[in-house]
Amino acid sequence: MPWVGLYTAIASLICTLAMAADVTHGFWQWKLWFPNKFFTLNATTLTLIAISTKLPVDLTTNTSDLYTGGSIEYTKIISIIFLLTMLANFLPSLALMDDKELLTNIVALGILVITIIVNLFIQTFTQLHLVPFAAIPLLIFPILLPFSVALTISTTRKILEQRYKESLQLGSSHEEKMFSSKDLKCYVKKLWMMAETRNPQFVIACSPVSCAFGGICVYLAISSFPMAFYMEDFWHGTDIYKWSLKIIYFVQSSGVVVGSIAPMFRCFTSIGHYNLSKKWSKNHLNVFRVEKHWIRRLQQWKRSHVRLHIPGRHCKIVFHYSKNTFLNVCITCHVAVLVICKTICLIPRIFLILLSCCWHFIKSFLTKFKMVANESSEIEEYTRYVVQIEEEAKLSERILRNTLHSITQLLDEFEKKEPKNLIKLLEKSTGFNGVIEFDNDQVPPLYPQEINNCWSLVVVTLTATAMALPNIENSHFKGLLSSMREGLQIVTHIEECLNVDGDSIKVRKAARRVWTEVEVYRTWLQIDLQKMARKGKTSKEILQWIGDEAAKVVIQYISSKKTSIDRSPYKFILASSMYRISQTILLHYNERENWLNDEELFEWISGIIADVLLACFANLPHVIKLKCHHQAIEKRGDNIRIAAQLLGKSKKILKILKASDFPNLDEDSMAYIDRWWCALLKSQVPNNGHITNRGASSTRIQGDFSSSNELVIVTVCS
């Protein structure tokens, strides 16, 4: 049994650390309503809670024993308080679940809670006398609060989503300039204000139930402190848990202290989140005022028609009468819980009203000496984008200021982290000619079905080609790799947002895999890129060699009849791209009278990379906006943070794009490099000229190539 006790202590420690992580995360982001990120209601936490409450459900222990009873009794009471603290901590996480997930988790929690309550009653109403009869309501009532909140989640989410869409239409009433970082900043701030204020966790954390739960947790935590002074008298007993009882008591007591921080702050910040007014005070001091969204779901169930094959008219009457009676009882209990919670919240609310009156007089003197006009005007600008479930309750200026400050601080922080190496590379760009020059239709294909290019595949292949050139200083290689490292971070966001079809994902994954080789080992498909340069070969010979190596991989892939690890589609994708790019460079410079020297060729390839990256970055405004509109409620805030980081780092890139001339492409076509290639080629070819519409007519690569054995004969040098 001591090892069972240790098992219980470990589970309690994990729960405590998860609650501590949420507290730290809340303070770090200055969200004093402490959203749940680590300690949420799910199968894992339910298992941990069940293990950590092993003692309260253990009926085999004897609390009436003079030597061992006290220690077990006090430890069991601490375990119950620890359970209530955990329930209070993950309360806002209920708002993140859809109806199906919420039902599953609440049913599982209900089974666990019923088991604990039944065992608690057994131990109270028998000779064990675990807790006094008067303390039972104080321990049972908080356990019911998560179930009361769960009944409002669906309605709350629907109301918030509806008002979010209304605010979204308000925010999109005017068109922003395409590459204006100022307009994009305003757009991100608007969406941030909407996402933060309509966060369902925020609504639950500011509810009367959360406020009351916080007050109860603080009271129970304080009332449990005197137990520690009596524990030393019972540590020397011969209980079955032996030494593990000390560990359980210490860990769960620490968990009660740590776990009470978030509910306590929610209790006070939920009240301070709103501007105090006569109307607000009147509504919130009236404890019998029940908002419609609290009971709307139960009323909908009551009005809904249930289709059941019940024989006989009288049986149907009995069924519907029983259903309505049961739901009426549920509504009454639900309203009673809310009224009790509001009554508990009266003490901190009255205290806040008195405190705010004092602060009002102090603030009137401070505003005479402090200029806050600019800040207040900015807050007023974004106030209309606030999404609330109660329209008459206005959020306090402090909350609006903190919300706006958090996103402004994030934007400023990432503006200072601008990708300097990438900017240096992009300054080499003279337009978008590189988007045409990386490929040429005169290069014979190795296979009739060509792959679709993606941005990352092209720039990674060009980088690998540049890394193979001889007589280039190592500092130039390092500079190119640093620029590519910074550029691919942005390219990845663009491709994940816009290139989401199956073939594009396959090509993107192939590029990501080979980039690790190029960056870390300076190899390409395990081929040493500097091998020929060390042998004194010229750049022309190296380009021919690397193209031949790529051709060998493609031919080996197509001709192979046996499935093996080497017959990997990603190798075919990479080799096809390398073959076309290396042969395009050779074809381009074979037409010239004088072959460029190695440094000039390296700079020319770097210029193509810069042009391709700049064309890709033309999608940045569209991607930033898409990041702000994630469908999942729980991911929208994190995505707006990513959009803000992306915007902060892209300020100078947007300036470069603003001065560029773009081809005639719609927003959807700008996402694909092949469509850029076609559009730019059309703009350079006379009207009577002939071009191959590569982006529109090329067949996408399929997983099976057995349907065709037709190959173009290419001479491969040994």
CB-based contacts of 472: which residues, under 8 Å, 6+ apart? 466, 598, 599, 602
Residue 10, φ and ψ in degrees, nearest 5: -65, -45
State how far the Cα of 325 lies from the Cα of 321, in Å rounded to an integer: 6
H-type alpha helices, 517-632: 531-534, 539-559, 569-590, 598-617, 620-627
Query: Are the beta carbons of 387 and 399 closer than 8 angstroms?
Result: no
So what's the pLDDT on residue 107? 95
Cα separations in angstroms, 533 against 180, 346, 514, 676: 45, 80, 20, 34
Query: Within its chain, how far is the Cα of 192 from the centroid?
Result: 14
So what's the pLDDT on residue 696? 36
So what's the pLDDT on residue 44? 93
Question: What is the distance in angstroms between the CA of the first residue and the CA of the last residue of the chain?
Answer: 73
- Residue 448 burial (CB < 10 Å; 0-12/13-18/19+)? exposed
**DSSP one-letter string for 104-153:** HHHHHHHHHHHHHHHHHHHHHSSTT--S-GGGHHHHHHHHHHHHHHHHHH
Query: Are the beta carbons of 653 and 620 closer than 8 angstroms?
Result: yes
**DSSP one-letter string for 329-350:** HHHHHHHHHHHHHHHHTHHHHH
State how far the Cα of 555 lies from the Cα of 711, in Å rounded to an integer: 9
Per-residue pLDDT reduced to its tens digit, 70-111: 567 778 888 999 999 999 999 999 998 988 999 999 999 999
So what's the pLDDT on residue 77? 86
Structure tokens at 99: 């109806």
Cα separations in angstroms, 258 against 30, 98, 211, 265, 338: 18, 29, 17, 12, 26
Structure tokens at 421: 């190496």
- AA letter at 64: S
Question: What dihedral angle (degrees, nearest 10) is formed by the CA atoms of 492, 494, 500, 503?
Answer: -60
**DSSP one-letter string for 182-214:** HHHHHHHHHHHHHHHHT-HHHHHHTSHHHHHHH
So what's the pLDDT on residue 23? 94
Per-residue pLDDT reduced to its tens digit, 383-412: 778 887 776 667 777 778 888 888 888 888
pTM for this entry: 0.80
- Residues of the chain scoring pLDDT < 70: 1, 61-71, 127-131, 134, 171-178, 226-241, 270-285, 308, 353, 356, 359-360, 363-378, 391-393, 448-450, 561-568, 593, 684-718
Residue 471, Ramachandran bin (φ over 0: left; ψ between -120 and 50: alpha; else beta): left
Max Cα-Cα span within the chain: 105
So what's the pLDDT on residue 695? 40
Of 256, 210, 267, nearest to 91 by C-alpha is: 210
State how far the Cα of 348 lies from the Cα of 130, in Å rounded to an integer: 32
Return the SS3 of 48.
helix
- The full length of the chain comes to 718
